[in-house]
């Protein structure tokens, strides 16, 4: 006994300076070595997914976001003028500026990038794309004095608005798309000002999107809460059956679901026909439920309802019935037990459901495009417009970035108020 105790004492470190393993390597180094191998293996396991996400998600989104501030359409193709703008800040264009412009027009025409240049300026000063392309065709034959020569081609070349647009476009990066996305413009004298009321598009549309999404999330909560409660309290066999009914829409194409709402809701549709046949609505006063906000709200509520029910259900399933029973035995009536004991415990589910539905609704595109008409269009429809029609991808990127920013802000707010770790998706 005594021997063992003695050797034990001897091999123990005199002080806890550097603990060592049995073979003498410092404990910390050994631990790091052991942990490193496990970490490397873990990294290798997630590497394929990481590569996939970076390639297909992070890179394109990053590129898209970069496009919202990138401004190389003009600056990359007009090197002489860009240099002149850099050397002469705040100067009226003189002969040397027109000379640089003429040289660049000739260059761009030769490189066949004159259309890109024209398009870029056209974002800011409409109707100028043809000005560039037609000048490009004759740029090679222009002679000094260039100012007169260009003004002979078109009076517009002397316009201060055009020149300020070109000066703005000569920077490699610009906040202009964001300024435009916020319904503002750069005024030469007053700086950033709001555009006239009748030209404001994006900000009202943004608020309308938020409003409609909030209304949809609210209706989903009202409709989904009782269903989730029913699912959570019924016997497992029955609730599984009902769960299929909740999930059924998930397994149907989004387009099919949207178009079936069109069949139901249009003015010659099933709902109106039934109402008319019962005499509730006059034949010539059929209710307009389609191609307006109502259509968007109805169809999207139906489509997003499962996203509310599932998190609510998964939270309610975990609430033991003994809580409400305890509340009842303590003297609370049905309503008080429900409101003060049951509902507070479903808050993680309510938070998750509302946030999920709201975020999905804010970015929804197909359904409002099909059933929304003009008053039921959402923000993403405007993004799509800039992507596919006006081809102003920078504008689309700026709008998308604003939407993303708004959602991140909301998420942060939610975290501050309720706490993200309180959220349960299922």
Partner 1 sequence: MTDPTADKAFVAFERVQKSYDGETLVVKDLNLAIGKGEFLTMLGPSGSGKTTCLMMLAGFETATHGEIRLGGRPINNIPPHKRGIGMVFQNYALFPHMTVAENLAFPLEVRKMGKAEIEAKVKRALDMVQMGAFGGRRPAQLSGGQQQRIALARALVFDAELVLMDEPLGALDKQLREHMQFEIKHLHENLGITVVYVTHDQGEALTMSDRVAVFNDGVIQQLAPPDELYERPQNAFVAQFIGENNKLHGVVEELNGGRAVVRLDSGEVIDAAAVNVGGKGRRTLVSVRPERVEQREDMSAPGLDAEVLEFIYMGDVFRTRLRVAGSDEFVIKSRNGQGQRRLQPGEKIRIGWATEDARALDA
Interacting residue ranges for partner 1, rule: CB under 8 A: 320, 322-323, 325-333, 336-337, 340-341, 344-345, 347
Q: Which two tokens stand for residue 165?
A: 């647009």
Nearer to partner 1, 241 or 330 (CB): 330
Provide the 3-class DSSP secondary structure of residue 78: coil
- Residue 91 neighbours by CB under 8 Å, 6+ apart: none
Q: How far is the CB of 418 from partner 1 (least distance, A)?
A: 12
Nearer to partner 1, 257 or 328 (CB): 328
Nearer to partner 1, 341 or 397 (CB): 341
* Chain position carrying tokens 């709200």: 297
Cis peptide before 417, with omega less than 30 degrees from 0?
no
Burial letters 350-383, b for 16+ CB under 10 A, else e: bbbbbbbbbbbbbbbebbbbbbbbeebbbbbbbb
Q: Which two tokens stand for residue 100?
A: 């640089």
Q: How far is the CB of 238 from partner 1 (least distance, A)?
A: 15
Burial class (CB in 10 A: 0-12, 13-18, 19+), 101: buried
Q: How far is the CB of 319 from partner 1 (least distance, A)?
A: 10
Spatial distance between the Cα atoms of 66 and 218, rounded to a whole number of angstroms: 35
Say if CB 286 and CB 276 are below 8 A apart: yes
* Chain position carrying tokens 């009842």: 328
Nearer to partner 1, 205 or 332 (CB): 332
Spatial distance between the Cα atoms of 280 and 282, rounded to a whole number of angstroms: 7
Task: Report the sign of the C-alpha dihedral through residues 129, 131, 132, 136, in that order.
Answer: positive
Q: How far is the CB of 242 from partner 1 (least distance, A)?
A: 22
Nearer to partner 1, 228 or 341 (CB): 341
Q: How far is the CB of 317 from partner 1 (least distance, A)?
A: 16
Nearer to partner 1, 39 or 340 (CB): 340
Q: How far is the CB of 318 from partner 1 (least distance, A)?
A: 11
Nearer to partner 1, 134 or 345 (CB): 345
Q: How far is the CB of 43 from partner 1 (least distance, A)?
A: 35
Nearer to partner 1, 89 or 331 (CB): 331
Enclosing H/E stretch for 185: strand 184-187
Q: How far is the CB of 307 from partner 1 (least distance, A)?
A: 24
Nearer to partner 1, 20 or 317 (CB): 317
List helix spans (H) across 139-201: 146-153, 160-169, 176-181
Q: How far is the CB of 350 from partner 1 (least distance, A)?
A: 13
Spatial distance between the Cα atoms of 374 and 321, rounded to a whole number of angstroms: 48
Spatial distance between the Cα atoms of 419 and 22, rounded to a whole number of angstroms: 46
């Amino acid at each position: 006994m005594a021997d063992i105790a003695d050797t034990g004492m001897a091999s123990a470190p005199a002080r806890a300076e550097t603990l060592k393993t049995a073979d003498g390597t410092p404990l910390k180094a050994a631990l790091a070595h052991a942990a490193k191998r496990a970490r490397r293996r873990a990294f290798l396991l997630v590497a394929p997914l990481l590569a996939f996400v970076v390639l297909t998600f992070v890179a394109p989104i990053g590129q898209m976001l970069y496009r919202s501030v990138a401004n190389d359409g003009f600056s990359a193709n007009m090197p002489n003028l860009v240099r002149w703008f850099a050397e002469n800040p705040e100067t009226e264009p003189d002969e040397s500026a027109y000379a640089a412009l003429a040289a660049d027009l000739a260059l761009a025409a030769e490189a066949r990038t004159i259309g890109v240049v024209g398009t870029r300026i056209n974002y800011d000063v409409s109707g100028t794309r043809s000005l560039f392309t037609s000048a490009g065709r004759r740029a090679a034959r222009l002679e000094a004095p260039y100012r007169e020569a260009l003004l002979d081609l078109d009076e517009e070349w002397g316009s201060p608005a055009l020149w300020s647009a070109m000066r703005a476009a000569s920077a490699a990066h610009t906040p202009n798309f964001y300024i435009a996305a916020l319904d503002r413009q750069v005024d030469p004298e007053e700086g950033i000002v709001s555009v006239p009321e009748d030209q404001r598009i994006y900000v009202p549309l943004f608020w309308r999107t938020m409003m409609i999404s909030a209304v949809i999330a609210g209706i989903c909560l009202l409709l989904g809460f009782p269903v989730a409660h029913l699912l959570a309290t019924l016997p497992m066999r029955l609730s599984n059956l009902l769960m299929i009914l909740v999930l059924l829409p998930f397994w149907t194409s989004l387009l099919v679901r949207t178009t079936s709402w069109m069949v139901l809701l249009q003015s010659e549709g099933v709902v109106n026909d039934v109402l008319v046949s019962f005499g509730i609505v006059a034949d010539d006063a059929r209710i307009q439920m389609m191609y307006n906000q109502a259509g968007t709200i109805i169809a999207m509520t139906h489509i997003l309802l499962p996203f509310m029910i599932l998190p609510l259900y998964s939270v309610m399933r975990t609430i033991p019935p003994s809580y409400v029973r305890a509340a009842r035995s303590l003297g609370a009536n049905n309503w008080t037990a429900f409101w003060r004991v049951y509902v507070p415990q479903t808050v993680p589910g309510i938070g998750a459901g509302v946030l999920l539905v709201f975020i999905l609704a804010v970015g929804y595109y197909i359904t409002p495009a099909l059933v929304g008409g003009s008053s039921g269009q959402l923000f993403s429809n405007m993004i799509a417009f800039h992507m596919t029609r006006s081809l102003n991808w920078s504008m689309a990127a700026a709008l998308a970035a604003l939407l993303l920013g708004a959602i991140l802000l909301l998420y942060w707010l939610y975290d501050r108020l309720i706490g993200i770790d309180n959220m349960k998706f299922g």
